[in-house]
């Protein structure tokens, strides 16, 4: 990436030489040019919110910025890109969206996220730290910045306008008004599940901002919940005997989101040990809150990470997965393929991967290529539930 301060070699995480998607876009370049051309003083506390792959943080590393992100992968990409650029490990401060924000913010740079809810939550959390002299600049591609985006900045921080579009990117320019009366933060959001969806019927779901389908149960998960395997009746590959050395059936809710699928398993089978894993800090916080609210009696672990990295090979009996097919604005099956590959590695012989997905995504082809088998468990006009067994 070309910046006013030189060239940067940037990659996404995990690094893949076959990856065609860049670790930056025109909106990152536009923001950096604006800072240089307007001679914005990058002094005091510089906060970078929502940096996708660390492009902004790496470019401004000399100013000791604070990065706030919901993405574990973005954090890891930032670390790798900083190291590649020669910055030391203490050059920047890396925070998550669940951490307490800095008490004072002098420059706030916002990479507008796909989720308007996440933007609302984070601006409300940061607003008390913003003062009259704070420089606030947002950036995003034209298709990512809507009237509702500008209204959020204006309602929470102060008067807001946009720049002209350059290379299909736009800036959001906001003048903070500390006297503004701000609304209460509505996140996290809680709702009660309807009847007819198994052990989680009538239970409470907790969604932090930015988690997929935050105000209701999405139809894919609803369909999946009706067709989950009975782990009590059949521990995969063992003829019904619990396979773990301690007698536990080990289940992973992979890409757990708000954790309702893993919570359903835990409620139906108190003997199961459930690992909830997601790369989103907001999602894992939601999953833990949903699990606690559901009153599940079993054992659970909540982990923010890169899929199943760190899970021992051959240690899991069942993986449940509703894989995403978008990376920010890009449509890609790379994440699903990595999830399926990771599942095959961690499953015991006879262990099962259960996947729900849109019919048109053709996951059965990938599962057959990887596992050598794929069985259709259930389908409707929009979704399929597939099962693959590790031989």
Digitized pLDDT (tens) for each residue of the chain, 391 residues in all: 999 999 999 999 999 888 788 999 999 999 999 999 999 999 999 999 999 999 999 999 999 999 999 999 999 999 999 999 999 878 999 999 999 999 999 999 999 999 999 999 999 999 999 999 999 999 999 999 999 999 999 999 999 999 999 999 999 999 999 999 999 999 999 999 999 998 999 999 999 999 998 888 999 999 999 999 988 755 544 444 444 545 569 999 999 999 999 999 999 999 999 999 999 999 999 999 999 999 988 899 999 999 999 999 999 999 999 998 644 445 467 889 999 999 999 999 999 999 999 999 999 999 999 999 999 999 999 999 999 999 9
Q: How many C-beta neighbours within 10 Å does residue 126 have?
A: 21
Rounded CA-CA distance 237/219 in Å is 30
Q: 123 by DSSP, 3-state: which? A: helix
Query: Which pLDDT does position 193 carry in this prediction?
Result: 95
Is the alpha carbon torsion for 115, 118, 123, 126 positive or negative?
negative
What is each CA distance from 17 to 80, 84, 232, in whole angstroms? 15, 16, 43
The CA-based diameter of the chain, rounded to the nearest angstrom, is 69
Q: 4 by DSSP, 3-state: which? A: coil
Torsion, Cα 164 169 171 172, to 10 degrees, reads 100
Rounded CA-CA distance 312/232 in Å is 23
Q: Which domains does the chain have, with CATH numbers?
A: 2-174 (3.40.50.150), 189-389 (3.40.50.150)
Query: Which pLDDT does position 131 carry in this prediction?
Result: 98
Rounded CA-CA distance 277/286 in Å is 11
What does the block give as tokens for 22?
Answer: 């860049």
What is each CA distance from 319 to 24, 179, 298, 342, in whole angstroms? 33, 50, 17, 10
Rg (CA), the chain: 22
Query: Which pLDDT does position 239 carry in this prediction?
Result: 42
């Amino acid at each position: 990436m070309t910046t006013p301060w030189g060239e940067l070699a940037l990659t996404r995480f995990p690094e893949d030489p076959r990856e065609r998607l860049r670790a930056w876009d025109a909106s990152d370049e536009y923001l950096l040019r604006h800072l240089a051309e307007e001679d914005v003083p990058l002094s005091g506390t510089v906060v970078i919110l929502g940096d996708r792959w660390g492009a902004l943080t790496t470019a401004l590393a000399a100013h000791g910025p604070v990065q706030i992100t919901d993405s574990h992968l973005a954090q890891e990409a930032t670390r790798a890109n900083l190291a590649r650029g020669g910055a030391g490990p203490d050059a920047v401060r890396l925070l998550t969206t669940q951490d307490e924000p800095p008490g004072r913010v002098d420059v706030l740079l916002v990479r507008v996220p796909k989720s308007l809810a996440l933007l609302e939550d984070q601006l409300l959390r940061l607003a008390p730290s913003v003062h009259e002299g704070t420089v606030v600049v947002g950036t995003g591609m034209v298709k990512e910045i809507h009237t509702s985006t500008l209204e959020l900045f204006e309602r929470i921080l102060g008067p807001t306008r946009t720049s002209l579009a350059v290379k299909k990117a736009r800036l959001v320019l906001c003048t903070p008004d500390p006297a503004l009366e701000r609304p209460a933060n509505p996140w996290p959001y809680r709702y009660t599940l309807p009847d007819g969806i198994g052990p989680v019927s009538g239970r409470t779901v907790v969604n932090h901002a930015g988690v997929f389908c935050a105000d209701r149960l999405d139809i894919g998960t609803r369909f999946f919940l009706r067709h989950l395997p009975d782990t009590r009746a059949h521990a995969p590959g063992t003829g019904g005997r619990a396979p773990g050395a301690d007698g536990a059936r080990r289940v992973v809710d992979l890409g757990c989101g708000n954790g309702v699928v893993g919570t359903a398993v835990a409620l139906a089978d108190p003997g199961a040990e459930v690992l909830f894993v997601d790369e989103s800090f907001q999602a894992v916080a939601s999953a833990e809150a949903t699990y606690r609210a559901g009153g599940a009696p079993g054992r659970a672990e909540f982990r923010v990470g890169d899929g199943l990295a760190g899970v021992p090979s051959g240690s899991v009996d069942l993986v449940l997965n509703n894989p995403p097919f978008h990376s920010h604005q890009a449509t890609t099956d790379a994440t699903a393929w990595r999830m399926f590959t990771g599942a095959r590695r961690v499953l015991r012989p006879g262990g099962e991967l259960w996947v729900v997905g849109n019919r048109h995504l053709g996951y059965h082809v990938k599962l057959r290529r990887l596992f050598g088998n794929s069985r259709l468990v259930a389908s409707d006009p929009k979704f399929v539930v597939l099962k693959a067994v590790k031989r």
